[in-house]
Amino acid sequence: MRSVEEQLALITAAAVTPEPVRIAISEALGLRCAEQVEGTHALPGFDQAAIDGFAVRSVDIRQAVEMTRRNRDRHDDLPPEEEEGPVSQDVRPILPIVGEVTAGSHRPVRLQPRQAVRVHTGAPLPTLADAVLPLDWADVQGRRMEPLNSLNSGQFVHRKGSDVQPGDVVVEQGAVIGAAQVGLLAAVGRDKVLVYPRPRMAVMSFGPELVDIDRDPGLGQVYDVNSYALAAAGREAGAEVNRIGIIAGEHRRLKDVIEGQLIRSEIVVITGAVGGEASDRLREVLGELGEMDVSRVAMHPGSVMGFGTLGPDKVPTFLLPSNPSAALVAFEVMVRPLVQLIRGQRQSGRRIIQARSIASIESAPHRRGFIRGQLMRDRETREFLVDPLGAASGGGEPMHLLGSHGLSNCMIIVPADVTHVAPGQVVDVMFLSIRA
């Protein structure tokens, strides 16, 4: 019996990263960048207003606010009989508003000392202006305004090149392109980017008992669950999936169908071909296309599986169990890491944390258990807790039920030398996709 690590080593050794392709940045979301992208010009390309307000010289505002303060102090120092009322208009530090600049304006504006220009967010700053006074920091009276607060040079201003300078790296080679990276590429004027494409995956099911979901199954027949479930798992992992569905027919037809997918795929997944007389016929076909090894792996469920490299391009090909639950576990443990590796991911595995089991778990001896569970967090202690699903005594048939997959958000990993986990015991837990 082969260990999980030995099987994974065979699989990852067969990974071949597709050649990078140049695509539109609007199509690059979720892909890994295959080049280092540098800025060619300053971003922003000019000093611009960060908020709506008045473009000013900060020194004028500081002087105006200081004058207001001195006037008030002098007024407060007068005895009651000598008070003359409010500070007279002619000594109040009022700046004239000499113009207005909106975002996108191409008209150059020059600011003179002790003047203000109304500016909108994103507008280019007038020459000599070095700060923006917010609207609520000013007492506006028609075409004049009195500053109420002081400010420093550069305040509420996006300086030219403050975000990106020419030569700055905006997207690293190997980085996953997310929404921010798409925005940065657009900001530096890149309409296309070199990326590692999603690996193409063909998914098909084999078995005389299978019918597609558009037909009613007869006696002894079951719906083809696996090609749908594994195609979805492949897309979730980041592959470009072609669901072939059920494959059937005589030797020549089976070979033609599989050969056709080997030509256009980086990964091929076939389920329902690891045991029984019918699978012998399929494995004979696969043997003519390359090296295929079917063996037991020290894990459960899904211990019996096949892997090989087929066709002239040595395409990694998987044979997974017919049971949908076992097939999904085998896909998660064996196929998904290969997809991540081909995509150029630095870390191909899921995140693993520790959690306290709230129920007992029975696991098969000498095989690593991958048991579905519901991960949660204690509101008071913030400790991770996990509720095992489908972990019947002895690790028997309930382990293979598909229904608990729909309730699970993690897999509990039980070491091969452990057959019993008591309630309250700490276990390793693998995060699955987080559903909204």
Structure confidence by residue, pLDDT tens digits, 26-66: 999 989 899 999 988 888 889 999 999 999 999 999 998 88
Averaged confidence pLDDT in the chain: 87
Name residue, tokens 């991540």.
340
Q: Looking at residues 393-422, what average pLDDT do you find?
A: 74
For the segment 191-208, what is each residue's pLDDT rounded down to a tens digit?
999 998 999 999 999 988
The set of residues, in sequence order, having a beta carbon less than 8 Å from that of 219 and lying 6+ positions away, is none
**Could you give the CA distance from residue 178 to residue 184 in angstroms, rounded to a whole number?**
10
pLDDT digits (tens, 9 = 90+) for 212-262: 999 988 898 889 999 999 999 999 998 999 999 999 888 899 999 999 999
DSSP 333: I
Q: What backbone phi and psi angles, to 5 degrees, belong to 248?
A: -155, 175
pTM surpassing 0.85? Answer: no
- What the block records as the tokens of 329 is 């576990």
Counting residues of the chain whose pLDDT is more than 90, the rounded percentage is: 61
pLDDT tens for 326-337 read 999 999 999 999
Contact between 327 and 320 (Cβ < 8 Å):
yes
Pairing of strands 222-223, 240-247: unpaired
pLDDT at 146 over 80: yes
Per the model's pLDDT, the better-predicted residue between 391 and 296 turns out to be 296
What's the gap between Cα 432 and its chain centre?
14
Q: List the domains of the chain with CATH numbers.
A: 4-18+198-343 (3.40.980.10), 21-43+163-196 (3.90.105.10), 48-76+89-158 (2.170.190.11), 352-431 (2.40.340.10)
* Nearest Cα to Cα of residue 147 among 94, 225, 70: 94
pLDDT in tens, 256-314: 999 999 999 999 999 986 666 667 888 889 999 998 998 899 999 988 999 999 999 99
